[in-house]
Amino acid sequence: MNVAEFLKPDTWFTAHAGPRYVQLRHRLEEAINMGILPPNSSLPPEREIAEITDLSRVTVRKAIHELVKTGMVEQRQGSGSFVRAPVARVEQSLSHLTSFTEDMKSRGLETTSRWLERGVFLPSPEEMMMLGLPSGSSVARIYRLREAGDQPMALERASLPLDILPNPVEVTVSLYDVLERSGNRPVRAAQKISAVNLTPEDAALLGVAEGAAGLSIQRISYLESGRVVEVTKSVYRGDAYDFVAELRLSD
């Protein structure tokens, strides 16, 4: 059955069964779940859906907007609306201090990075305070889009003292591999995780709808000596990541 036949209103629309856009949304969801609209396929144009269903374009637009909000459909500027491919969820343990690359490798996923910023900069007041930098210092800063299994997963921004990471360009894959080679890999960290709605800029980079759920993670990492070695601020896709922790009953 093709999409046009599936959307004919005589098979699903009932005048007194609730708002029209809700009924249409459910019908489109069925088309997606049944594979009539497979992943990455385009939805018919609003005008065409309106003609098939005998509904207004306003109603059609509202139904599609609801699907965008749930993450089933994405709208690409100038191209139309497309069925989103299912996202494989990833669990990350909070019990061990590991890098993104190590986490993904343990799951058999190859990682790639899209560099957004990498170099030596004048530190912000916040970086000076959190890293304990003296006046006149510079800071190594790396900011990248992390991808695994060919899908964007997280935005990661890390700041480090320059004596810990003298050459940020040396980081090509794993920051922790570079730090380990120099004897500066952190041994413990404190993390704060918050739920956020993604900004338009972050959502575009992560390939999700504006305002979609995300996880904001701030991490401060320490050397054995207690020195702060890294401050990281990351934003993860809420539809692709679960953070889990093992809890034990204290004696």
| Per-residue pLDDT reduced to its tens digit, 134-164 | 989 999 999 999 988 778 888 999 999 999 9
pTM above 0.75, yes or no: no
CATH class name, domain 90-244: alpha beta
* pLDDT, mean over the chain: 87
Asked, colleague to colleague, whether 3-83 and 90-244 share their fold, the answer is no
- The percent of the chain in helix, strand and coil, each rounded to the nearest 5, is 30, 30, 40
Paired tokens of 164: 């810990």
Widest CA span in the chain: 73
CATH class name, domain 3-83: mainly alpha
For residue 2, what are the CA distances in angstroms to 6, 36, 48, 79? 6, 7, 14, 21
| Per-residue pLDDT reduced to its tens digit, 74-91 | 887 778 898 887 666 666
What are the residue boundaries of the structural domains of the chain, listed by start? Answer: 3-83, 90-244
d(CA 54, CA 77): 26
Helices and strands per DSSP (H, E), number in the chain: 8, 10
Paired tokens of 97: 């201090």
